[in-house]
Amino acid sequence: MSSGLDVVDLRAGYGAVEALHGVTLSFPLGAVVALLGRNGAGKSSLLRVMAGTVAVSSGRVSWRGRDLARLPPDQRVVAGLTSIPDAPNVFHGLTVAENLAVFGQGIAPDPVFEVFPELRDKASRLAGTLSGGERQMVALGRLLLRPGQALLLDEASRGLSVGAVERLYAVLDDLATPERTIVVVEQYQPDILRRADLVYVLSRGEVAWAGEPGELAAGRLPTAFG
Amino acid sequence: MLTLELALAGLGIGSIAALAGLGLLVTYRLTGVFNLAFGAIAMAAAYLLWQAVRVWHWPLALAAVVDVLVICPIFGVLLERFVFRPLQRRAAAPAEKLVASLGVFVVLLGGAVLVWGAQARLDAPSLVPYRQLPLPGGVQLPLSTVVDLAVIIVVGIGLALGQRTRLGLRVRAVVEQRELAELQGLDANRVAALGWAIGSMLAGVAGVLMAPTLRLQPYGLTLVMLETMAVVVVAQLTSPVRAIAAGLMVGVIQAELARVHLGGYSGALFDALTANLFVVALLVALLIVRRLNETGGDDAGTTARLTTRGELASARGWWLVPALTLAAPLMFNAQDRRVALAVPALAIVLVSIVVVSGYSGQISLGQAGFAGLGALIAARLAAGTMPGFGRIPGVAVLVMVPLLMVPIGLLLGWPAIRRRGLFLALTTFAFSVAVSRFVFDQPSVTSGLTVHPPDAFGSDNNFYVLELLCLAAAFLVVRNLHNGRVGRALIAVRDDESGALACGVDVRRLKLLVFAASAALAALGGALLAMGSRAFDTGAFDPTRGLIWFAAVVVFGIDSAPGAVIGAGVLVALDAGLPQGSSILVIGLCALLLGRMPGGLLHSMHRLFDHTVRRIAPGIVPDVRQRPTRAVQLTPAGRAMVGQLRRRAAGGQGVTP
């Protein structure tokens, strides 16, 4: 099967509030997909549903043809999904090194410190005492330790300095292989459009626009996103 | 002068306290839940051992192994699976977990009384043979103390080392942020179940080791455990070394002080302080310790997650239910009406919890203390024995009681300014324990007290009407606290304290206001309760009452004043119609199910009703949740890109941008 992550007619929400009203989208293998939209459009909810932390009310989520709906989040990690949520993204009561060890499972944290040298001196500090940007670096460390075949990044660049964002994108460039799907949620980050193969725009829990980044850049932004 | 013999005797008590406290601490670190039921599990394990050895005549060793190493861990796993996992699933606040553990506590206690009776048994099987070990200097140390100390050291070392292992790391990650741990591939359910299994096993160990020394009695054994919370507070929920040291030290000091004898009133007070040194230690620790190192996220402080958060606005006819609950007794016969006198009084007490915990989000487990003080003050004012006051006539008492309680409410509100969540819960509970031990239990304060309804309201019917008037006044206060500017500010504090501060809300003043109002209401309710039963009964204001009341309010909807009225009605009715303690068992069982009924029992029933109507007759209740899907097509360029990607993935060719 060549399909990557697929969601079909997906409905999900929180208690009585439905956040996604029947979303059908395809995130093919080998693609970097940018998921855009305003606040409350349902971008993060969609990532959470795919990662398994928000339950599906109806519809389908599949990864490489395998139905994910009944799999708990940890099994999805085993199946190849690596999700980096927006917040909380680190264990506040664990040190930086321990945070990396939870996911690393025996892999030395050196690759993380190479890309984010800011963390090297803070390895033994509690993650709760770090700045927002540093916490984000710790969270992104998972991409450097054991990246899965599907990466779900929620506002990955939030809080990072311009230089750190550059390094993050360089890492993503390295990770973008034909066997991997990368989904990046961004609020506003023009850089991601230069790297994305596909752009989906969500609005009020529905797909408002789907196309190629070039079209967005050409000023054909739909009113839904304006 | 310290004596070695007394110190060694104190070591015996101290090692028991240290063992219980250490077990509670380890359970907290393993599960993220401050398990109020720890003592109840220990008690149940001790009773099971008694049952197996004394009734079924199992060999002691076999019975102990089955009890502590099989049954207790299985019980822990069941607790995790059916009580705490549903709570964790929806990232429940510590307050919710606290209430659930309260449910376990209540159910186990009720069950034990039901099965084994409330009487004390002196033949608890002892795992450690009774033997005195001679020490140099001619003093002797009981073998059981040595075993207790050995277990403490093993558990302490196990905790210290275990945290550094890979499994320990996983446990900490799951306790800290369960969802994030799952996103990192950890099987959080398994890890949490392991934590609960070990925690329950430790409770079992503590129970079977302690029972022979303390004697087997459901309430007694459980309460001893609650008192050892001092040890855990001193350890700030973290340090096993400090927990052990604190437990041993308090035990030794208590034993040494037992030698000192003073006369007169100060002597009685001194004896009370010595006998309840662990309560004193708890109070002192709570005032000295700056913060508890709680696990979990940063929005851990309030009861906000227990509320409905206005998810479903109440229907207009909703008020009919509490109104009918209150009107019905007017048509009862004399005997039933006498019973029903407790309903409006209890409703006022429960409403006082709604104010402090439901509206402003501050957990208060100490309302029994306020209610009891209210009853006490009412009795003394009416009798003219309140220091500084003459004899206060009739209804004026009911006006004075809440006013006199305001300063005491402010006093408790003051530490609450900086305390939140579990810390505040323990502080308020300790307050109620202290009031119970040092005021209600003192014969010089409470003996020979009588209390009557005001003369003009002597008949049950008239007194019931007076109670309804008081309840109406209470509702007026509540309404003013819940609506308008103050109400909005309170909700802001409940949902996000720092956010409220940032918006210019005077959080300090609000908290003081709420604690004062809540204390006044509870005192009024307590005074009416005592007047209705025509007696000042210290048992009615026992600290465990406060726990049960809090659980009841949570079960019936923590931010619902009408729910409090219905809750009071249900509690009184259950106790009148069924064997004593049934109401407690029902509340406990409901509290266990909180994970499955967010927002409380009534809110869940309301939702179920809505859901059913929508199923049966769609269209009557508009379904605002779902909207029809609009199909959006990919743009031609987008379609081409998807096709390219598909081909590339199938054939392994690159894409030309």
Same domain, B422 and B542: yes
Break chain B down into helix, strand, coil percent, rounded to 5. 75, 0, 25
Q: Which of residues 168-207 of A touch B (CB under 8 A)?
A: 178, 197-199, 205-207
Residue (of B250, B248, B275, B249) closest to B260 by Cα position: B275
d(CA B236, CA A9): 50
Predicted local confidence at residue B67, as pLDDT: 96
- Enter the DSSP assignment of B354: I
Residue at which a domain ends, from B592, B607, B622: B607
d(CA B627, CA B623): 9
Residue B243 · residue B2 · CB < 8 Å: no
Predicted local confidence at residue B480, as pLDDT: 86
Q: Where are the domains of chain A?
A: 5-89+144-225
Same domain, B271 and B378: no
d(CA B72, CA B79): 10
Same domain, B207 and B319: no
**Euclidean distance between the first and final Cα of chain B, in Å?**
90
Question: For residue A82, which phi and psi values (nearest 5 degrees)?
Answer: -115, 120
Q: Which residues of A touch B630 (CB under 8 A)?
A: 206
Residue (of B518, B602, B596, B608) closest to B555 by Cα position: B602
Contact A94 B176 (CB under 8 A): yes
Facing residue for B185 by CB, picked from A74, A197, A199? A74
Q: Which residues of B touch A26 (CB under 8 A)?
A: 642
- The list of chain B residues with pLDDT below 70 reads 1-2, 91, 296-318, 580-581, 618-634, 648-657
Contact A74 B176 (CB under 8 A): no
Residue A20 · residue A12 · CB < 8 Å: yes
d(CA B273, CA B442): 11
Q: Which of residues 44-83 of A touch B (CB under 8 A)?
A: 51-53, 72-74, 77-78, 83
Facing residue for A91 by CB, picked from B176, B182, B649? B176
d(CA B385, CA B392): 10
B266 inside domain: yes
Shortest CA gap B136–chain A (Å): 47
If you count residue pairs, one on A and one on B, with CB atoms under 8 Å apart, how many are there?
140
Residue B172 · residue B186 · CB < 8 Å: no
Same domain, B320 and B224: no
Q: Which residue of A has its CA nearest to B652?
A: A178
Classify the phi-psi angles of A71: left when phi > 0, otherwise alpha if psi is within -120 to 50, otherwise beta.
beta
Q: Show the CA angle centred on residue B19, arms to residues B18 and B24, nearest 5°.
A: 95
B165 inside domain: yes
Same domain, B272 and B308: no
CA B459 to chain centre: 37
Q: Which residue of B has its CA nearest to A32?
A: B645
Q: Which residues of A touch B183 (CB under 8 A)?
A: 51, 53, 73-74, 77, 83, 85
Domain count for chain B, please give it.
2
Shortest CA gap A61–chain B (Å): 17
Q: Which residues of A touch B654 (CB under 8 A)?
A: 178
Tokens linked to B445: 């304060």
Same domain, B283 and B331: no
Contact A85 B180 (CB under 8 A): yes
Contact A93 B625 (CB under 8 A): no
Facing residue for A94 by CB, picked from B173, B189, B640? B173
Q: Are strands A198-203 and A181-185 parallel, antiparallel or unpaired?
A: unpaired
Predicted local confidence at residue B46, as pLDDT: 95
Interface test with chain A among B184, B603, B639, by most A beta carbons within 10 Å: B184
Facing residue for B642 by CB, picked from A28, A51, A73? A28
Same domain, B329 and B402: yes
CATH of domain A5-89+144-225: 3.40.50.300
For residue A97, the number of C-alpha atoms closer than 13 Å in the C-beta half-sphere is 11
Q: Which residues of B touch A85 (CB under 8 A)?
A: 179-180, 183
B636, amino acid identity: P
- Please state, as a whole number, how many other Cβ atoms lie within 10 Å of the Cβ of residue B519: 31
Q: Does A123 touch chain B (CB under 8 A)?
A: no
Kindly provide the residue ranges of all beta strands, DSSP E only, lying in B4-146, ordered along the sequence. 132-134, 140-142
Q: Which residues of A touch B637 (CB under 8 A)?
A: 211-212, 214-215
Shortest CA gap B108–chain A (Å): 32
pLDDT digits (tens, 9 = 90+) for A27-52: 999 899 999 888 888 899 999 999 99
Facing residue for B638 by CB, picked from A22, A30, A211? A211
**ipTM score above 0.85:** yes
For B375, the 3-state DSSP assignment is helix
Q: Which residue of A has its CA nearest to B599?
A: A15
Q: Which residue of B has its CA nearest to A99?
A: B173
- Signed CA dihedral, B53, B58, B64, B67: sign only: negative
pLDDT digits (tens, 9 = 90+) for B291-308: 777 776 444 455 555 665
Q: Which residue of B has its CA nearest to A215?
A: B637
Residues 6+ apart with CB under 8 A from B279: B227, B230, B430, B433, B434, B437
Shortest CA gap B180–chain A (Å): 7
Tokens linked to A194: 């230069």
B472 inside domain: yes
Q: Which residues of B touch A72 (CB under 8 A)?
A: 182, 187, 189
Residue A127 · residue A91 · CB < 8 Å: yes
Q: Does A211 touch chain B (CB under 8 A)?
A: yes
d(CA B124, CA B649): 71
For residue A31, the number of C-alpha atoms closer than 13 Å in the C-beta half-sphere is 30
Residue A92 · residue B298 · CB < 8 Å: yes
For A36, the 3-state DSSP assignment is strand
B645 inside domain: no
Q: Which residues of A touch B169 (CB under 8 A)?
A: 94, 98, 101-102
Break chain A down into helix, strand, coil percent, rounded to 5. 35, 30, 35
- Signed CA dihedral, B330, B335, B338, B340: sign only: negative
d(CA B292, CA B239): 11
Same domain, B475 and B513: yes
Query: How many residues are given for chain B?
Result: 657
For residue A220, the number of C-alpha atoms closer than 13 Å in the C-beta half-sphere is 12
H or E segment to which residue B626 belongs: none
Same domain, B329 and B233: no
Question: For residue A182, which phi and psi values (nearest 5 degrees)?
Answer: -120, 125
Q: Which residues of B touch A51 (CB under 8 A)?
A: 183
Residue B100 · residue B83 · CB < 8 Å: yes
**Euclidean distance between the first and final Cα of chain A, in Å?**
37
d(CA B337, CA B95): 36
Contact A206 B630 (CB under 8 A): yes
Contact B183 A85 (CB under 8 A): yes
Tokens linked to B217: 């009695």
Q: Show the CA angle centred on residue B632, arms to residues B631 and B638, nearest 5°.
A: 145
Facing residue for B646 by CB, picked from A9, A28, A102? A28
B132 inside domain: no
Tokens linked to B356: 């402090």
Contact B649 A26 (CB under 8 A): no
A119, amino acid identity: L
Interface test with chain A among B28, B29, B183, B606, by most A beta carbons within 10 Å: B183
Same domain, B84 and B223: yes
Facing residue for B183 by CB, picked from A2, A77, A198? A77
Contact B180 A88 (CB under 8 A): yes
Residue at which a domain ends, from B569, B588, B607: B607
Give pLDDT tens digits along chain A (226 positions).
357 899 999 999 887 788 899 899 999 998 999 998 888 888 999 999 999 988 898 899 999 989 988 889 999 999 999 999 987 889 988 999 999 999 887 888 898 999 899 899 999 999 989 988 899 999 998 888 888 899 999 988 888 888 888 888 888 888 988 889 999 998 766 777 888 899 998 888 888 888 888 777 665 555 445 4
Residue B549 · residue B353 · CB < 8 Å: yes
Shortest CA gap B182–chain A (Å): 5
Same domain, B180 and B315: no
Q: Which residue of A has its CA nearest to B238?
A: A93
Residue (of B23, B14, B16, B15) closest to B156 by Cα position: B23
* C-alpha distance from residue B373 to each of A153, A220, B366, B440, B544 (Å): 57, 72, 11, 8, 16
Q: Which residues of B touch A52 (CB under 8 A)?
A: 182
- Signed CA dihedral, B490, B342, B107, B116: sign only: positive
Helices (H), B32-84: 38-50, 60-64, 72-79
Residue at which a domain ends, from B254, B288, B322: B288
**Preceding amide of A88 cis, omega within 30:** yes
Environment class of B649 (CB within 10 Å of its CB; exposed 0-12, middle 13-18, buried 19+): buried
Helices (H), B436-459: 443-446
Q: Which residues of A touch B628 (CB under 8 A)?
A: 21-22
d(CA B333, CA B394): 26
Facing residue for A26 by CB, picked from B170, B177, B642? B642
Residue B106 · residue B587 · CB < 8 Å: yes
- Domain containing B223 equals 4-127+137-288
Same domain, B96 and B163: yes
Shortest CA gap A139–chain B (Å): 10
For B47, the 3-state DSSP assignment is helix
Q: Which residues of A touch B311 (CB under 8 A)?
A: 15-16
Contact A197 B655 (CB under 8 A): yes
d(CA A159, CA B396): 62
Q: Does A159 touch chain B (CB under 8 A)?
A: no
Q: Which residues of A touch B91 (CB under 8 A)?
A: none
d(CA B55, CA B43): 17
Beta bridge partners of A82: A151
Dihedral of CA atoms A112, A116, A118, A121 in degrees, nearest 10, equals 20
Residue B212 · residue B206 · CB < 8 Å: no
Tokens linked to B13: 């008590």
Residue B209 · residue B148 · CB < 8 Å: yes
Residues 6+ apart with CB under 8 A from B492: B499, B500, B503, B505
* C-alpha distance from residue B161 to each of A79, B157, B158, B272 (Å): 33, 6, 5, 40
Q: Which residue of A has its CA nearest to B169?
A: A102
Residue B171 · residue B194 · CB < 8 Å: yes
Residue B602 · residue B566 · CB < 8 Å: yes
